[in-house]
Amino acid sequence: MAPAMVANGDVSFANSVPALVGGRFAVYSELQRSRIDHALPLPRVLTGNFQVVDGPNSSAAGNPDEIAKLFPCLFGQPSSMVVPSDSEGLPSDQQLKVGVVLSGGQAPGGHNVICGIFDYLQARTKGSTVYGFKGGPAGIMKCKYVELTSDFVYPYRNQGGFDMICSGRDKIETPEQFKQAEETALKLDLDGLVVIGGDDSNTNACLLAENFRSKNMKTRVIGCPKTIDGDLKCKEVPASFGFDTACKVYAEMIGNVMVDARSTGKYYHFVRLMGRAASHITLECALQTHPNITLIGEEVAKIETEKMLIQMVETELEKRKAEGTYKGQFKGQSHFFGYEGRCGLPTNFDASYCYALGYAAGALLHSGKTGLISSVGNLAAPVEEWTVGGTALTALMDVERRHGKFKPVIKKAMVELEGAPFKKFASMREELALKNRYISPGPIQFVGPTANAVNHTLLLELGAQG
């Protein structure tokens, strides 16, 4: 029998983990502690000598003329690939000063992106400094930061949440705010800044990169694709981190509720999942668990809440009862799964993916790049074979007209009704509705046969599955 957590949480914790974690004394469960030392594999290309090579000049996702006007310095710049090199590659005698910021809602794996950046700089640019801006972009504007050290970073390895430096939803938008960011960059003598965030945060990262470049400042900016919603993705950025873990947490809960439903036959369960406009989470969970009915917002106008849906069913069945066409009993149970998933312990996939994203961001900064989003590909293959590079953020952009002005945006990737994941779902839909084909994925495993499974959406999109 393993000892229980309460007792040795207090006792042995101080021995293995620094007691002061981000200003808070953290008590770790046995599983959290065991995850700290989980070894993270790296894409092979990042383990030896490499160089960063440029591709062809890029354009924009839409309205290139407007994007060119909004990003006069950066528009058109090529995306980059990290490739093996015979010679020593990037200079190892550089000492970089790099800031990192978490922007927006939590997603499992954020801490590992930071660890990746930190480890890259430790390994390849010895003597470098990493600053963690606290509480999101506001930390940049107010120059609120903490210097990240080995000891400081260590307890957060492979851990969920964003509590190492916390996040925030402020944006750097107005001329005054850009000025504040410049002052911080100058004060800390920043060579680089890594912005870990969703579509909006990466758009802002690019505006910041453009602004620094236009002022001839040396500070370069690299983005990293974060969001459990899964709506920040494209060919070069096949997944945003956190999606894999969050979906698996929700799928565990849905699967359990399904087993419950099958055992009692007493309730009809209605589950709402966290998310904004895009329905990737819902589609992924449907593929993982096979509920009878799944509403995909991109296909049908989304119904407001699971409770309203229950009311609608009740109203309809009462009508049918009055007409004598329905005699059964309907009991609805509503669920909302949200906060439970976005701070879960990262899956092995998210842990490795985030670490690679951070490591790649370090390499891109090291090679002098700016205005790119860290891009790790070939994700259906073993980690060693993953590809690494940076995609020009301007290449992902289009414009939207707001208050009579063009604003750059990275368009949210919605569920494509012609894409492989939706088509797979649609092909099963009729059968799922009438028969109970429930699947219960169970809890996320870190060791054993399912520990390295990847979400269905990614596999289907990458065509790795029939």
Q: Which residues are catalytic?
A: 229
Nearer Cβ to its own copies, position 10 or 183?
10
CA atoms within 13 A on the CB side of 409: 11
Query: Binding residue for its own copies (CB under 8 A) from 206, 278, 343, 364?
Result: 343
Q: In whole angstroms, how close is the CB of 35 to its own copies at the nearest point?
A: 8
CA distance 375 to 353: 10
CA distance 397 to 200: 11
Residue 330 binds to its own copies (criterion: CB under 8 A): no
The answer to whether the CB of 103 falls within 8 A of the CB of 413 is no
Residue 292 binds to its own copies (criterion: CB under 8 A): no
Query: Which 247-276 residues touch its own copies, going by CB under 8 A?
Result: 249, 252-253, 255-257, 259-260, 262-265, 267, 269
Nearer Cβ to its own copies, position 59 or 333?
333
User: Residue 416 contacts by C-beta under 8 Å, 6 or more apart in sequence?
Assistant: 298, 422
Q: In whole angstroms, how close is the CB of 463 to its own copies at the nearest point?
A: 12
Query: Which 344-383 residues touch its own copies, going by CB under 8 A?
Result: 344-345, 380-382
Residue 132 binds to its own copies (criterion: CB under 8 A): no
- What letters, b where the CB count within 10 A reaches 16 and e where it falls short, cover 66-103? bbeebbebbbbbbbbbbeeeeeebbeeebebbbbbbbb
Q: In whole angstroms, how close is the CB of 399 to its own copies at the nearest point?
A: 31
Nearer Cβ to its own copies, position 167 or 387?
167
Query: Binding residue for its own copies (CB under 8 A) from 16, 34, 95, 149?
Result: 34
CA distance 368 to 165: 26
Q: In whole angstroms, how close is the CB of 240 to its own copies at the nearest point?
A: 17
Sole window of 41-49, 298-306, 403-411, 458-466 interacting with its own copies (rule: CB under 8 A):
458-466
Query: Binding residue for its own copies (CB under 8 A) from 53, 162, 295, 320?
Result: 162
Q: In whole angstroms, how close is the CB of 4 to its own copies at the nearest point?
A: 5
CA atoms within 13 A on the CB side of 93: 0
Q: In whole angstroms, how close is the CB of 260 to its own copies at the nearest point?
A: 4
CA distance 186 to 201: 21
Query: Which 217-246 residues touch its own copies, going by CB under 8 A?
Result: none
Nearer Cβ to its own copies, position 324 or 448?
448
Query: Binding residue for its own copies (CB under 8 A) from 112, 177, 202, 288?
Result: 288
Q: How many residues does the chain have?
A: 466
Nearer Cβ to its own copies, position 160 or 223?
160
Between CA 259 and CA 267, with CA 265 as vertex, the angle to 5 degrees is 90
Query: Which 64-123 residues touch its own copies, going by CB under 8 A?
Result: 106
Nearer Cβ to its own copies, position 27 or 409?
27
Query: Binding residue for its own copies (CB under 8 A) from 66, 119, 163, 461?
Result: 163
Query: Which 398-427 residues touch its own copies, going by CB under 8 A?
Result: 424
Query: Which 141-160 residues touch its own copies, going by CB under 8 A?
Result: 159-160
Sole window of 1-9, 62-70, 74-82, 180-188 interacting with its own copies (rule: CB under 8 A):
1-9
Nearer Cβ to its own copies, position 26 or 68?
26
Nearer Cβ to its own copies, position 27 or 73?
27
